[in-house]
């Protein structure tokens, strides 16, 4: 009988506990699909005394997670610690140096160190798998690396952060402001005590940089992702978007065009007829556009114990079958260092929102700023604010981003503008 694949598990939070539960609950099915049993032999976590609702007696406990990399009873290390550096990076490096395969759900680790780790794995003929690092249970890594491998991918984009999607969905459905929904999301465990990585777009940027590398055969360029989150959004923006036929979503977008790489995370107005607009709550969704396959749409739960554990175990099954595969779809030496695209030269439509003094002549001054930079208005809505201010929301026709930004800078410098203007992109894809 083929011996079992023996797992050393670092991190026993929700996902780690979910991996243990899934391997136990579906042990027979997993063994048949993997061609051999997959068992946990050793575990490590920060707090040994914490009640996780699991019987950990069958497993060896290791206080220092890095020791998992050197144990004789471990074939594969599963890293669920988190963080770009520190113990997670130490464990990853020692695991590969020790000749063991590595499975991780750590998008920050890979966004910062993925190329070096991939080179180490390649040199040792080892598997480095990370399906759980992007979009939870959605098989987007396998979809890009295998299912769409024959295609030139022009664009990959989507909703990659369930916390932001949950907040925006609740703001719209329940007519609540951003601060209220964020506080309730934190209380319910949907958002961290410090939500900056989520609401400022950093989490999405980590994931997007990995998808871009896979999609375009490029070297990871996390530093090249322009990230802007959802802190500046008001309920009024949600309302105006709805009135104009859109829904606001935090979108991560990567494109390969004219030999350059464009990567951006931004709040965008998504047309109601687009499949991303119907992706509500904590769901994730990803769109891939290939030259022969056309548009592919992936949707599902992007986080949580079950979906993320499912992705981890799927990677373990691949390893048990002896299917390592190149980490980013091709050998590290074949990945291209793409130049960064000039965002200012891009054209599109834009939503602009301004709080202005409520007095005659203000609209003329705003439209003059747009006219001065060759930007025309497709639609405009003005709403009363308090006794002295009004809100103006506009959608532009197609315009160069540099021209729209110049118009906004001119408006922001005017004494009639009472607060920093807000600009959102319109997703015309």
Could you give the CA distance from residue 171 to residue 92 in angstroms, rounded to a whole number? 39
| Among candidate residues 251, 280, 283, 266, the one with its CA nearest the CA of residue 170 | 280
- Residue 231, burial from CB neighbour count under 10 angstroms (0-12, 13-18, 19+): middle
Residue 295: half-sphere exposure toward Cβ, Cα within 13 Å = 10
Could you give the CA distance from residue 79 to residue 9 in angstroms, rounded to a whole number? 7
- DSSP helix/strand/coil, 350: strand
Could you give the CA distance from residue 410 to residue 159 in angstroms, rounded to a whole number? 32
Is the distance from CB of 266 to CB of 348 less than 8 angstroms? no
Give Cβ neighbours of residue 11 (< 8 Å, ≥ 6 apart): 44, 45, 65, 78, 79, 80, 81, 82
Q: Which of 100, 129, 142, 207 is catalytic?
A: 207
Report the DSSP beta bridge partners of residue 250.
Answer: 267
- DSSP helix/strand/coil, 153: strand
**CA separation (Å) from 240 to 120, 170, 405?**
50, 16, 21
| HEC readout, 270-316 | EECCCHHHHCCCCEEEEEEEECCCEEEEEEEECCCHHHHHHHHHHHH
- Examine the residue annotation and report whether 129 is marked as an active-site residue of this protein: no
Residue 158: half-sphere exposure toward Cβ, Cα within 13 Å = 30
Active site (catalytic) residues: 207
């Amino acid at each position: 009988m083929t011996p079992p694949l023996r797992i050393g598990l670092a991190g026993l939070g929700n996902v780690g506990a979910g991996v243990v539960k899934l391997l136990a609950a579906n042990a027979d099915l997993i063994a048949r699909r993997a061609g051999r049993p997959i068992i946990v032999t050793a575990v490590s976590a920060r707090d040994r005394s914490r009640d996780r609702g699991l019987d950990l007696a069958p497993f060896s406990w290791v206080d220092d997670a890095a020791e998992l990399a050197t144990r004789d009873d471990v074939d594969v290390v599963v890293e669920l610690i988190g963080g770009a550096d520190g113990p997670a990076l130490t464990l990853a490096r020692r695991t590969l140096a020790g000749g063991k395969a590595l499975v991780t759900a750590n998008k920050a680790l890979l966004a910062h160190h993925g190329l070096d780790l991939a080179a180490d794995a390649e040199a040792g003929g080892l598997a480095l798998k990370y399906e759980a690092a992007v979009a939870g249970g959605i098989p987007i890594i396998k979809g890009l690396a295998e299912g769409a491998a024959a295609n030139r991918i022009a664009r990959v984009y989507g909703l990659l952060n369930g916390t932001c999607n949950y907040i925006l969905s609740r703001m719209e459905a329940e007519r609540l402001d951003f601060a209220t929904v964020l506080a309730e999301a934190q209380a319910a465990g949907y958002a961290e005590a410090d939500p900056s990585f989520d609401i400022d777009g950093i989490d999405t940027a980590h994931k997007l940089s990995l998808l871009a590398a896979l999609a375009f055969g490029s070297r990871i360029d996390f530093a090249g992702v322009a990230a802007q989150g959802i802190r500046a959004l008001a309920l009024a923006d949600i309302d105006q978007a709805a009135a104009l036929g859109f829904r606001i979503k935090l979108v991560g977008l990567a494109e390969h065009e004219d030999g350059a790489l464009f990567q951006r995370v931004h709040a965008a107005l998504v047309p109601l007829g687009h499949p991303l607009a119907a992706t509500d709550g904590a769901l994730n969704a990803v769109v891939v556009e290939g030259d022969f396959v056309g548009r592919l749409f992936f949707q599902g739960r992007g986080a949580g114990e079950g979906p993320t554990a499912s992705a981890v175990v799927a990677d373990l099954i691949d390893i048990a079958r002896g299917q390592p595969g190149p980490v980013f779809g091709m050998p590290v030496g074949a990945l291209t260092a793409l130049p960064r695209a000039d965002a200012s030269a891009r054209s599109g439509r834009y939503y602009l929102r301004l709080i202005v003094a409520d007095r005659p002549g203000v609209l003329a001054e705003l439209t003059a700023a747009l006219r001065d930079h060759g930007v025309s208005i497709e639609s405009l809505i003005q709403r009363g604010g308090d006794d002295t201010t009004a809100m103006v929301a506009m959608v532009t026709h197609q315009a160069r981003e540099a021209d729209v930004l110049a118009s906004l800078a001119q408006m922001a410098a005017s004494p009639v503008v009472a607060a920093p203007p807000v600009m959102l992109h319109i997703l015309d894809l």
